[in-house]
Amino acid sequence: MTSPDDSSAPRPPENTPDKGYAERCYRSAAGIGGGVLLLLIGAWLGGDAIVRGAGRTPWLTLAALLCGVPLVIAFTLRPAVWAGEDALRVRNPFRTITLPWASVAGVRAGYSSEVLAGGAKYQLWAIPVSLRQRKSAARRQARAASEDVTGTVSVGVSGFTRAPADQAIDDLRELAERNASRPGAQGEPEVRWAFELIVPSVVGLVLLVVLFAVA
């Protein structure tokens, strides 16, 4: 028999590629939505051209889809950042970078989100910086400060008055400082190229060039 406390035991997070990065996941909802929309439009227009097109049109369409679909996936659906106890995993359009926390020298957000590690700089495509959200957060912060007569309002809404990207960078910076000394967080950055997206896109581009050249 199981004890009554079993139902309240914490469960491991799901929908992450590796248990080592199961703590937090950052993705751009706008990027995912835009990518799905572009893929639907491409499937609609491309399917119509393949079915109804004449001459070389179907072949040109197939080559264009072979070249374009991987690019859409790479820049919209693929970017993600997983932060675990031992490492930060950054999945950018064409690379996946695994950064043990001990190798992370800094995390910052200027006009883009970046992590410095191993003497190199890596962009965080999954955490886009929005100047509009920053301005909106600054206005909320100024409004909260003007209404704060007791000195407690600004503390209570500090998270609400931060832009999402800046808050995410603060969280990652805190994780880097907290976990850098862990035994499992030691090591050097590792980079893996996404050849499963690069190769089809290059093949599609070559086919497009060949088809236009023999016209």
What residues of the chain score a pLDDT lower than 70?
1-22, 133-134, 137-138, 140-161, 215
Alpha helices in 28-150 (DSSP H): 29-52, 57-72, 131-147
pLDDT for res 20? 44
130 CB-side CA count, 13 A: 17
pLDDT for res 3? 41
